[in-house]
């Protein structure tokens, strides 16, 4: 199925490469990021992206950046200029992939209000935003598979009870349920505790839809011959569910997982954007966007929207990959297919 879903040079193939690159960059943030996510330089507040030069005095030289100076305009906005009297060569593999000697600064994607490097914070923020989506969807789909498998296998009163619980969870709009559950979290939690609670909250609101679909699949799978044989041989009910029923839902589950991860990433981003998620100085793509809630800031420093670009790119990649996996798992979805 994997080879069928990702033929070379297909959109899904490139989406997989981009997503893999984002995940790898987040894992290697300590090496790839020029600075720590919490390192500030207040004199470089909202500094624009730094230009890297390779030509000086008409000659080709090693990559370098100029120092910066700034002044205020009539709107009290900082206007940055390159100070060509201060040259800072790029330094490679000195604890980090590339950096410059102090007091020089290199902002590949610009700086935020506190003079923190946006590129570095995006890499570190990817650890939070991507891992919350992956861990949250793993927990919720484990619950959904188990609940759906039990409801479909046993049927009867237990089935009715579990499905009514699923419907109660599904009938509440997801974002409002997210806010209500987040409001129950104490305000004195540190960032690690908030991270864990966000994972738990996102997992709680995401399992019910899958459980209902898996339940429908299990209603037919439980009547298959291999299930009846296993039951005759004395295999326990839990063993039948885990070994003989749920594995036959894997093709659908993998595609559903990939299509659901963007919802978890957006949920974390929404919470962090309104100040209920990961808090400064820790970075996530959502809380980095909180600075972009002012149209004036966006006008004078449009580079603060870079986290939104990465959120959009990640969501598109997951959707393209999920669609490809779903089409590969469904024989009726092949080109020219039909009933």
Instruction: Considering only residues 300 and 251, tell me which one the structure prediction assigns the higher pLDDT.
Output: 300
Residues 6+ apart with CB under 8 A from 138: 257
Question: Residue 330: pLDDT band by 50, 70, 90 thresholds?
Answer: low
Name which CATH class applies to 118-333: mainly alpha
Question: How confident is the prediction for the chain on average, in pLDDT?
Answer: 84
Statement: residue 49 has pLDDT above 90: yes
SS (H, E, C) 181-242: HHHCCCCCCCHHHHHHHHHHHHHHHHHHHHHHHHHHHHHHHCCCHHHHHHHHCCCCHHHHHH
Instruction: Reduce the DSSP state of residue 110 to 3 states and report it.
Output: coil
Please give the C-alpha separations between residue 180 and each of 81, 139, 173, 271, 311, in angstroms, as whole numbers.
47, 20, 11, 11, 24
The pLDDT value recorded for residue 270 is 81
Task: Tell me if the bond preceding 74 is cis, omega within 30° of 0.
Answer: no
Mean pLDDT across the stretch 211-233? 85
Q: What are residue 53's DSSP bridge partners?
A: 64
* pTM of the predicted protein model: 0.83
Average pLDDT (1-28) is 85
In angstroms and rounded to an integer, the radius of gyration of the C-alpha atoms of the chain is 25
User: With 60 as the cut, is the pLDDT of residue 339 above it?
Assistant: no
- Cβ neighbors of 141 (< 8 A, separation 6 or more) are 206, 207, 210, 253, 256, 257, 260
DSSP-assigned states of every residue in 259-290: HHHHHHHHHHHHHHHTTSSS-TTS--HHHHGG
Burial level of 27, CB count in 10 A (0-12/13-18/19+)?
middle
Query: Is a pLDDT exceeding 70 seen at residue 64?
Result: yes
Q: Which residues pair with 72 in a beta bridge?
A: 78
Q: Over the stretch 258-277, which tens digit does the pLDDT of each residue have?
A: 878 888 888 888 888 777 77
The pLDDT tens digits of the residues spanning 164-199 come to: 988 888 887 777 777 777 777 777 777 777 788 878
Q: Tell me the range of 70-74, 97-101, 176-180 where mean pLDDT is highest.
A: 97-101
Q: Are 67 and 88 in contact (CB under 8 A)?
A: yes
Position 323 pLDDT exceeds 50: yes
Q: pLDDT band for position 217 (50/70/90)?
A: confident
Q: Where are the domains of the chain?
A: 50-100, 118-333
pLDDT band at 4 (very low <50, low <70, confident <90, very high): low
Most confident of 13-27, 164-178, 212-226, 237-251: 13-27
Whose CA is closest to 250, among 200, 220, 210, 209?
210
Say which DSSP state 305 is in. G
Contacts of 183 (CB under 8 A, 6+ apart): none
Spatial separation of the C-alpha atoms in residues 314 and 122, rounded to whole Å? 13
Closest C-alpha among 194, 162, 189 to residue 271: 194
- What's the pLDDT at 299? 86
Give the mean model confidence (pLDDT) for residues 83-112.
90
CB 114 within 8 A of CB 40: yes
Burial class (CB in 10 A: 0-12, 13-18, 19+), 296: exposed
Beta strands in the chain (DSSP E): 53-56, 59-72, 78-92, 98-100
SS3 327: helix
pLDDT at 338: 38
Count other Cβ atoms within 10 Å, centred on residue 8.
7
Count of positions (residues) in the chain: 339
Q: How many CB atoms lie within 10 A of CB 313?
A: 14
Picking from 128, 62, 48, the residue whose alpha carbon sits closest to that of residue 90 is 62
pLDDT of residue 190: 73
Q: What per-residue confidence (pLDDT) applies to 85?
A: 86
278 pLDDT exceeds 90?
no
More confident position, 137 or 53: 53
Interhelix angle for 250-273 vs 191-221, to 10°?
150
């Amino acid at each position: 199925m994997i080879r069928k879903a990702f033929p070379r040079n297909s959109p899904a193939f490139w989406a997989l490469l981009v997503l893999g690159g984002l995940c790898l960059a987040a894992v290697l943030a300590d090496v790839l990021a020029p600075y720590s996510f919490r390192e500030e330089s207040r004199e470089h507040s909202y500094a624009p992206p730094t230009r890297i030069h390779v030509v000086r005095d008409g000659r080709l030289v090693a990559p370098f950046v100029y120092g910066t100076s700034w002044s205020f305009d009539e709107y009290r906005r900082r206007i940055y200029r390159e100070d060509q009297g201060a040259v800072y060569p790029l330094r490679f593999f000195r604890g980090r992939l590339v950096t410059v000697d102090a007091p020089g600064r290199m902002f590949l994607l610009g700086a935020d209000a506190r003079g923190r490097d946006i590129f570095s914070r995006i890499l570190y923020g990817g650890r939070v935003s991507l891992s919350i989506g992956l861990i949250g969807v793993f927990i919720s789909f484990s619950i959904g598979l188990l609940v759906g498998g039990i409801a479909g296998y046993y049927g009867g009163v237990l089935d009715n009870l579990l499905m009514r619980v699923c419907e109660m969870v599904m009938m509440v709009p997801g974002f409002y349920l997210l806010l209500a559950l987040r409001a129950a979290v104490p305000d004195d939690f540190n960032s690690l505790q908030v991270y864990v609670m966000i994972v738990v909250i996102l997992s709680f609101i995401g399992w019910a839809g899958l459980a209902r679909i898996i339940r429908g699949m299990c209603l037919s799978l439980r009547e298959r011959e291999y299930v009846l044989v296993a039951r005759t041989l004395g295999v326990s009910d839990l063993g039948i569910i885990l070994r003989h029923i749920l594995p036959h839902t894997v093709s659908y589950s993998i595609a559903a997982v990939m299509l659901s991860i963007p919802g978890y990433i957006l949920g974390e981003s929404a919470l962090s954007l309104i100040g209920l998620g990961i808090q400064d100085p820790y970075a996530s793509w959502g809380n980095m966007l909180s600075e972009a809630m002012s149209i004036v800031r966006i006008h004078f420093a449009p580079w603060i929207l870079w986290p939104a670009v990465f959120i959009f790119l990640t969501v598109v990649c997951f959707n393209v990959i999920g669609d490809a996996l779903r089409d590969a798992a469904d024989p009726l979805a092949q080109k020219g297919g039909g009933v």
